[in-house]
């Protein structure tokens, strides 16, 4: 038995270097960035070997969200939300659609799969460079309609300054409260069918919060001293298009693997029960692949949060309207030498990522424990 | 197998697939066509048309310009892939066959490292490499890629080794084999496909990486993505060069994808945590 315990020690010692590396490089570094974000490290002597840093608490965060100079960051944050939502809807939707088409086993399925998935192997820098050329004004995509005898498009893909879905940053707290109330109500409605009592636990606070903001909205403080408008900038559509092009093949591969995993018997049974092809996917296949959808959503959200390279290659700092916090962090830190502000942006990004990754990892952990 | 008749359904299926395939191939076509044009033949209104004369000079010019970056990327990618794959294999072996109290928690803590936006570790990474005198060159970048590659490589190997029956390991232990001899004689010989999948995945990721490349290396040690971004950045007048450069930066990973696509897709699916 002594041999066995020596093996256990060997196993532990094998893992130890990686544990130490991850401990320092992931957790230690995150802690260090949190600390940096609460200092005033930046400006002139920022790159000195012993730069001057003073603890200033949450000032950097307050400045980002409500300060005079944080407008660019706020626009980036709004962009990040739109990017994520559009990328998720687009890549999951298109990927699932292509997977369903390929699941019909058309001739040349292998070739088609290769075509749909190749963008995934490319670097964002490569695809960004090519898409920038495709979206050039008066060229590329814009003149495609002329080949069908139509007028060319005149859309300013990457340089447009106009925005839709504009809102005032002053109202952001009220908007967030409304959003929270909407989420609570939606969860409540979803539970209503199964368990009425549980549903009310979600519905009541949801409706109460919504009503409160509606009636006493003036009590909720303004987030900013003056009007500042942010919206979904039209110049970001091109970037979103390129991301969907690059990542829908990935979701396609996930769903195809999932569809192949569903037994033919089940499919035949569904068909025998009179399900149409549409019915089979809607009521049998796609609900069965819920874990795949969740994985895809998690991974795509995490990708959309680090959409730095693509934007760097497509518009870079040229059009601030298309910015993203990940890009802003780089520019602030390594071009502007404002390390503390950069750290604060990074932490905001990290917190957004953590809100959906931590629950996901915990649920994965529990699932492993059950088996 | 019934013979397929042509119905409106099949026409619609093939029609939709054709349109989608054209949309997906559009950027590749554009890159090739533009790279083959003479600079004076490139104009916005004719960007889709085939070049009047094929001009291969853009490629040799791009190769000339990006050669140092290409070599840097080769060195970086190969060393970091080997490092992270070997460590990942050992970690995966421990995580799947030598579980100890708390090893699942450690594994989950590892996985978290895969999902963080790397901006959050960039500043201390930069400082640490500078303090270790590794900032600016390839060794620092290699170290970063090895460390942050550990979560995904450990995950892929852990899932891969889960398929090896534990009974096999236990009978080897009864025969007196220890931790390392089980790894070397049983697990390692079975893990060749695992090594292929993991190293292809790592190769692609490291080759395509940009953020660390631009933040942690000096000009002479820039990897290919940074070289390409500089070549294409600013107001590039002649687009033939960036397009040729893009093709050049894409070729190694595209080749892997086209010739070893099966393993590439397995890496892709393994990367999605779900076991």
Residue of chain B minimizing CA distance to A340:
B123
| Tens of pLDDT, residues A158-193 | 888 888 888 888 888 888 889 999 999 998 888 888
Using the Cβ of A125 and the Cβ atoms of chain B, whether some distance falls under 8 Å is answered with yes
Confidence of residue A350 (pLDDT cuts 50, 70, 90): very high
User: How close is the nearest chain A Cα to the Cα of B168, in Å?
Assistant: 16
- Among A140-144, B2-6, B26-30, the least confident range: B2-6
Q: How far is CA B228 from CA B31, B35, B70, in A?
A: 14, 14, 10
- A27 occurs within a structural domain: no
Tell me the CATH number at A82.
1.10.3720.10
In angstroms, the CA A56 to CA A37 distance is 9
In a domain, A51, yes or no: no
Of the candidates B27, B148, B268, the beta carbon closest to that of A250 is on: B268
Confidence of residue B275 (pLDDT cuts 50, 70, 90): very low
SS3 A316: coil
Q: How far is A304 from chain B (nearest CA, A)?
A: 10
3-state secondary structure of A179: helix
Q: Picking from A192-196, B17-21, B133-137, which range would have the lowest pLDDT averaged per residue? A: A192-196
Closest residue to B210, CB basis, from A19, A106, A309: A309
User: Virtual CA dihedral for A18, A24, A29, A31, nearest 10 degrees?
Assistant: 120
Residue A138 falls in which region: left (phi positive, over 0), alpha (psi -120 to 50) or beta: left
Structural domain includes residue A146 = yes
Percentage of chain A lying above the pLDDT 70 cut: 99
Instruction: Name beta bridge partners: A233.
Output: A163
Residue tagged 């421990």 (tokens):
B94
Residues 6+ apart with CB under 8 A from A167: A175, A229, A230, A231
d(CA B67, CA B245): 10
Classify residue A254: in a domain, yes or no: yes
CB distance B117–A302 less than 8 Å?
yes
Structure-model confidence comparison of residues B81 and B238, the more confident one: B81
Note the pLDDT tens digit of each residue in A286-334: 998 998 999 899 999 989 988 899 999 998 777 778 899 999 999 999 9
- Say how far residue B242 (Cα) sits from the centre of its chain: 21
Residue with tokens 């730069």, as numbered in its chain: A51
Is B3 or B224 the better-scoring residue by pLDDT? B224
Sort out which chain A residues have CB atoms less than 8 A from B211's CB and list them: 306, 308-309, 330
Give me the pLDDT at residue A2, please: 61
Instruction: Tally the residues of chain B.
Output: 275
CB A87 within 8 A of CB A246: no
Which pLDDT does position B1 carry in this prediction? 45
> What range defines the domain where residue A360 resides?
72-370
- Tell me if A262 sits within 8 A of A346, measured CB to CB: no
Looking at every residue in chain B, the average pLDDT score rounds to 92
Query: Across the interface, which of A28, A115, A131 has its CB nearest the CB of B25?
Result: A115
Give chain A positions within 8 Å (CB) of B16.
101
Which tokens in the block code for residue B214? 């631009």
**Residue A337 — left, alpha, or beta (φ > 0 → left; ψ -120 to 50 → alpha)?**
left
The runs of H, that is alpha helices, within chain B are 8-35, 57-97, 103-115, 119-131, 138-161, 166-174, 179-182, 188-190, 192-208, 211-216, 224-232, 240-259, 261-270
User: What are the structure tokens assigned to A309, written together?
Assistant: 């390279």
Record: contact A21-B150, CB cut-off 8 A: yes
Region label for A108, one of left (φ > 0), alpha (ψ between -120 and 50) or beta (otherwise): left
Give how far Cα B45 sits from Cα of A128, A133, B48, B244, Å: 21, 12, 8, 20
Name the pLDDT band for B98 (thresholds 50, 70, 90): very high
- Rounded CA gap, A172 and A220, in Å? 10
Dihedral over alpha carbons A257, A260, A263, A264 (to 10 degrees): 170
- Please identify among residues 78-107 of chain A the ones whose CB lies closer than 8 Å to any CB of chain B: 98, 101-102, 104, 106
Kindly report the pTM of this predicted structure. Answer: 0.92
Beta-carbon count within 10 A of A337 CB: 17
Angle at A29 between CA A27 and CA A33, to 5 degrees: 120
Of A7, A326, A343, the CB nearest to B178: A7
Q: Which of B144, B125, B110 is nearest to A29 (CA)?
A: B125
* B274 has a pLDDT exceeding 60: no
Structure tokens at B93: 């072996």
Rounded mean pLDDT of B95-103?
92
Q: What is the pLDDT of residue B4?
A: 58
Question: Which of A15, A156, A242 would you mutate first to test chain B, the one with the most B CBs within 10 A?
Answer: A15
Residue percentage of chain B with pLDDT more than 70: 96
Highest mean pLDDT among A267-276, B18-27, B40-49, B227-236 belongs to B18-27
B38 burial (CB, 10 Å; 0-12 / 13-18 / 19+) is: middle
CB A133 within 8 Å of CB A314:
no
pLDDT value for A3: 66
Interface test with A, best of B27, B84, B207, B244 (most A CBs within 10 A): B27
Q: What is the pLDDT of residue A367?
A: 86
Does residue B3 surpass a pLDDT of 70?
no
Q: Is A240 part of any domain? A: yes
Residue A354 lies in a domain: yes
- Please give the structure tokens belonging to residue B221: 């040690």
Q: Are A281 and A100 in contact (CB under 8 A)?
A: yes
**In this model, does residue B260 exceed pLDDT 50?**
yes
Q: Residues A10-27: what's their mean pLDDT?
A: 96
B234: buried, middle or exposed (CB in 10 Å: 19+, 13-18, 0-12)? exposed
265-324 of A, contacting B, C-beta below 8 A: 291-292, 295-296, 298-299, 302, 305-306, 308-309, 312-313, 316
B208 contact A CB<8A: yes
| Chosen from B86, B119, B246 to mutate, greatest number of chain A CBs within 10 A | B119
The DSSP code sequence of B197-223 is HHHHHHHHHHHH--HHHHHHB-GGG--
Put simply, the chain A residues between 163 and 202 with a CB less than 8 A from any chain B CB are none
How would DSSP label each residue in B150-172? Answer: HHHHHHHHHHHHTTS-HHHHHHH
What is the mean predicted confidence (pLDDT) over A91-109? 94
| Residue pointed to by tokens 């090896």 | B164
Is residue A5 a part of any domain in this protein?
no
Cβ atoms of residues B176 and B185 within 8 Å: no
Residue A119 belongs to some domain of the structure: yes
Cβ contacts (< 8 Å) between B110 and chain A: which residues?
A: 18, 22
What pLDDT is stored for residue B273 in this prediction? 58
B13–A contact, CB cutoff 8 A: yes
CA dist B201 to A171, B81, B84, B94, B108, Å?
A: 45, 9, 11, 21, 20
CB contact A2 to B (< 8 Å): no
How many domains does the structure of chain A reveal? 1
Residues in Cβ contact with A274 at an 8 Å cutoff, skipping those fewer than 6 apart: none
Asked whether the predicted pLDDT for residue B191 surpasses 90, the reply is yes
User: Is the predicted pLDDT of residue A68 greater than 50, yes or no?
Assistant: yes
A248: closest CA among A23, A63, A97? A97
Nearest-angstrom CA–CA distance, B114 and A357 = 10
Does residue B134 or residue A356 have the better pLDDT?
B134
* SS3 (DSSP) at A235: coil
Torsion of CA B104, B109, B110, B111, to 10 degrees: 90
Task: Label residue A334 exposed, middle or buried (CB < 10 Å: 0-12, 13-18, 19+).
Answer: middle
DSSP B41-68: G--GGGTTSPPSS--THHHHHHHHHHHH
pLDDT, tens only, B50-88? 998 899 999 999 999 999 999 999 999 999 999 999 999
């Amino acid at each position: 038995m002594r041999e066995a315990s020596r093996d256990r020690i060997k196993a532990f010692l094998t893992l130890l270097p990686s544990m130490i590396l991850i401990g320092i490089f992931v957790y230690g570094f995150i802690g260090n960035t949190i600390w940096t974000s609460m200092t005033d490290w930046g400006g002139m002597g920022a790159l000195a070997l012993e730069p001057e840093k003073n603890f200033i608490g949450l000032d950097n965060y307050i400045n980002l969200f409500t300060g005079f100079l944080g407008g660019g960051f706020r626009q980036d944050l709004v962009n990040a939300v739109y990017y994520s939502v559009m990328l998720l809807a687009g890549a999951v939707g298109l990927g699932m659609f292509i997977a369903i088409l390929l699941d019909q086993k058309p001739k040349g399925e292998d070739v088609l799969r290769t075509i749909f998935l190749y963008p995934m192997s490319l670097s964002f820098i490569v695809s960004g460079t090519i898409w920038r050329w495709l979206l050039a004004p008066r060229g590329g995509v814009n003149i495609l309609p002329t080949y069908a005898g139509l007028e060319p498009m005149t859309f300013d893909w990457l340089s447009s300054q106009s925005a839709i879905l504009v809102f005032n940053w002053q109202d952001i707290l009220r908007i967030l409260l409304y959003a929270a109330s909407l989420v609570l109500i939606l969860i409540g409605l979803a539970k209503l069918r199964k368990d009425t009592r549980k549903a009310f636990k979600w519905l009541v606070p949801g409706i109460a919060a919504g009503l409160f903001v509606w009636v006493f909205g003036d009590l909720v403080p303004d987030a900013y001293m003056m009007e500042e408008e942010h919206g979904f900038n039209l110049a970001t559509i091109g970037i979103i298009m390129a991301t969907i092009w690059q990542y829908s093949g990935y979701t396609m591969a996930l769903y195809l693997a999932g569809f192949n995993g569903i037994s033919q018997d089940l499919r035949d049974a569904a068909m025998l029960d009179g399900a149409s092809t549409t019915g089979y996917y809607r009521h049998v296949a796609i609900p069965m692949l819920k874990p795949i959808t969740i994985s895809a959503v998690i991974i795509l959200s995490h990708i959309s949060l680090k959409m730095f390279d693509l934007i760097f290659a497509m518009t870079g700092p040229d059009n601030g309207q298309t910015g993203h916090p990940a890009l802003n962090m780089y520019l602030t830190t390594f071009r502007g030498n404002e390390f503390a502000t950069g750290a604060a942006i990074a932490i905001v990004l990290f917190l957004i990522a953590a809100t959906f990754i931590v629950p996901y990892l915990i649920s994965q952990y529990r699932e492993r424990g059950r088996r | 197998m019934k013979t397929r008749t042509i119905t409106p359904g099949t026409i619609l299926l093939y029609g939709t697939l054709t349109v989608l395939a054209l949309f997906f191939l559009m950027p590749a076509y554009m890159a090739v066509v533009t790279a083959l044009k003479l600079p004076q033949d490139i104009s916005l209104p004719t960007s889709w048309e085939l070049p009047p004369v094929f001009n291969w000079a853009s490629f040799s010019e791009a190769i000339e310009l990006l050669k140092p970056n290409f070599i840097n990327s080769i060195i970086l990618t190969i060393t970091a892939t080997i490092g992270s794959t070997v460590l990942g294999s050992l970690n995966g072996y421990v995580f799947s066959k030598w579980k100890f109290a708390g090893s699942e928690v450690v594994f989950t803590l590892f996985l978290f490292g895969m999902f963080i936006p790397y901006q959050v570790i960039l500043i201390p990474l930069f400082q640490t490499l500078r303090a270790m005198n590794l900032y600016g060159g390839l060794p620092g970048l290699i170290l970063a890629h090895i460390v942050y590659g550990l979560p995904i490589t450990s995950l892929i190997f852990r899932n891969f080794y889960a398929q090896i029956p534990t009974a096999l390991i236990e009978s080897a232990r009864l025969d007196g084999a220890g931790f390392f001899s089980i790894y070397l004689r049983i697990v390692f010989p079975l893990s060749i496909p695992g090594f292929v999948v993991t190293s292809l995945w790592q190769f692609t990721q490291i080759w395509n990486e940009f953020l660390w490349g631009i933040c942690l290396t000096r000009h002479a040690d820039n990897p290919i993505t940074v070289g390409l971004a500089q070549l294409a950045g600013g107001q590039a007048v002649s687009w033939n060069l960036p397009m040729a450069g893009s093709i050049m930066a894409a070729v190694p990973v595209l080749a892997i994808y086209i010739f070893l696509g099966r393993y590439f897709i397995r890496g892709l699916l393994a990367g999605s945590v779900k076991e």
